[in-house]
Structure 1
Amino acid sequence: MEAELAALAASGATTLVGLMVSETWSQARERVVRFLARGGAGGPVDEELRLSEEELVAARESDDEPAVTDIEAEWRMRLRRALQADPGAAEELRLLLAELAPGVESDTSITVRNSISGGVQNGPVFQGQQFSSLTFHSSGTVPPGQSAGQ
């Protein structure tokens, strides 16, 4: 049972840290506060989450992976203690994770089709939700037979 709780805590921490830097964090944070406060005052937990979020954003901006790992480890231990203190919390955390990160353990597949129109593309084209730390080098030359801006 201990290994199962440790795995659940690890999954929860990974999801929590991932959510902290997502657009859905503001909605998810309230649910996480309620879970971690376990019926008590949520103010201190909310403040800890806010500080972790600030640290995480700063760490990601400066490419400080050890700091990101430390933040995740901190929340993994926090979740593990909560699970050990309350055996009923495991099922509650599983349900919370399923709601907050629905695609993680789902068998559902989604088909996405993208198309690009409107002329010649002489460089990379991106379609997606989140991009960071991408670098592309281009000669800046237009292929023969084409004019720039076509």
Structure 2
Amino acid sequence: MDAEITLLAGTAGTTIASLLATDAWNGVRNGVLALWRRVRPDHEEHVAVQLDTSRRDLLDARADGDEEAEREIAAEWRGRVRRLLVAHPELAAELRSLLTELAPGTRATTTVTQHATASGDSRVYQAGRDLIIDQP
């Protein structure tokens, strides 16, 4: 189980660090705090401060061109998550679920269904997202 916890903590640390400076920030923060709240509610406020500090540090580092900062922040969160999982291995399934929800490319997508009818000399242009038309 220790190798599994280490691997899961590594994935969590990397995911947390990579999403701190994205639009997914609130989801990351809420999800991580929910894990701590379940087993260590007395540490929730401290973890919230750590998340906020990590986000600020990452944003500042990116503005300064410091590419090493994200790896350092990921290592810090890897350690925090690993210690949490060692003390509370029952959180592993919940953490996996959170990582699946937060991981880029695994979020729910919207299905677009389009129908069009053209007649005569009319044209129909449809797109589920970006559409570039390069015609006179």
Where on the TM-score scale, by shorter chain, does this alignment land: which range?
0.7 to 0.9
Q: Whole-Å Cα distance in 2 between the matches of residues 86 and 44 of structure 1? A: 18
For residues 34-89 of structure 1, give each alpha carbon's deviation from its aligned partner in whole angstroms, at most 9, with x where no partner exists. Answer: 21343413211111100000001111122212222111100001011111111101
The amino acid across from 2:133 in the alignment is: S
RMSD: 2.6
Q: Whole-Å Cα distance in 1 between the matches of residues 46 and 36 of structure 2? A: 10
The alpha carbon displacement at 1:95 in A equals 1.2
2:56 aligns with 54
Paired residue secondary structure (1:88): helix
Q: Return 5+ residue gaps in structure 1 as ranges.
A: 121-150
The amino acid across from 1:2 in the alignment is: D
Identity of aligned pairs, percent? 39
Number of matched residues?
116
Judge which range, 21-30 or 8-17, deviates more: 21-30
Q: Return 5+ residue gaps in structure 2 as ranges.
A: 112-127
Select the structure with the greater relative contact order (CA < 8 A; seq sep ≥ 6). Answer: 2
Query: More helix per residue: 1 or 2?
Result: 2
1:44 aligns with 46
1:115 aligns with 131
Task: Normalising by structure 1, report the TM-score.
Answer: 0.67
Residue 103 of structure 2 is aligned with which of 76, 101, 106? 101
Task: Normalising by structure 2, report the TM-score.
Answer: 0.73
